[in-house]
Amino acid sequence: MDLTPRTVTEPGTQPPARKRRWLPILVVVGALLGGGVIVTQFLTSAIDYYCNVDEVGVRSGCSGERRMRVQGVVEQNSVKHADGGTTFTLDFNRKTLKVAYSGDPGGVFQECIPIIAHGRVVNGVFESDRIEVKHSNQYVEKNSTRIDASNKEAAACSVLKG
């Protein structure tokens, strides 16, 4: 068995240059960059901040036209139905926010109850596309002080109503 190394090229000549395949590398890099941008945009747009009415436009994450969830009490005598939509005013800590809901909230939606409206502020009006009347158990666990404050506001509204 001969274990001496073999030379592929003649002595004094250069070995053939190895060709890199740049196209597959560029395609993989482009796909990774594109995927990163898509994931980043998705995660950024998927975050809905919880804000009380008095925090809108004041607290970080509760300003601008970003999507958020706003908690407040439906102000007495503010609910109006017109053109297939519903407008009302949310109140919290003596601050108010005009809400335009696309549709009829239905269910147990009424004046003087705490709700969460999902949407964004456009030209000073909160344009909502979803209304939650009851809080989820996860929200209750994490935000019991907010709910207590909201229930006090609702109780005060109910007293005025009666």
Q: Print pLDDT tens along the chain (162 aa).
A: 778 776 666 666 666 666 778 888 889 999 999 988 888 776 665 566 788 888 888 887 787 778 888 999 999 899 998 888 899 999 998 899 999 998 888 777 888 888 999 998 888 899 999 888 865 555 566 667 777 777 777 677 755 555
Flag whether 30 is in a domain.
no
> To 5 degrees, how large is the angle CA 22–CA 23–CA 24?
95
Please tell me the predicted confidence (pLDDT) of residue 44: 60
- Taking the complete model, does pTM exceed 0.85, yes or no? no
Flag whether 115 is in a domain.
yes
Please tell me the predicted confidence (pLDDT) of residue 152: 76
Q: How many structural domains is the chain composed of?
A: 1
Flag whether 89 is in a domain.
yes
Question: What are the distances in angstroms from CA 147 to CA 2, 50, 153?
Answer: 85, 12, 10
Cα–Cα distance measured from residue 65 to residue 108, given in angstroms and rounded to the nearest whole number: 28
Flag whether 9 is in a domain.
no
Contacts of 17 (CB under 8 A, 6+ apart): none
Please tell me the predicted confidence (pLDDT) of residue 98: 95
Please tell me the predicted confidence (pLDDT) of residue 87: 93
Quote the tokens at residue 85.
């939509």
Please tell me the predicted confidence (pLDDT) of residue 15: 62
Please tell me the predicted confidence (pLDDT) of residue 91: 92
* Beta-ladder partners of 116: 71, 132
Residue 128: give its domain's CATH number. 2.40.50.140
Please tell me the predicted confidence (pLDDT) of residue 148: 76
Flag whether 52 is in a domain.
yes
Flag whether 26 is in a domain.
no
Tokens 């005013």 sit on residue: 89
Cα–Cα distance measured from residue 57 to residue 41, given in angstroms and rounded to the nearest whole number: 23
Domain range enclosing 119: 48-161
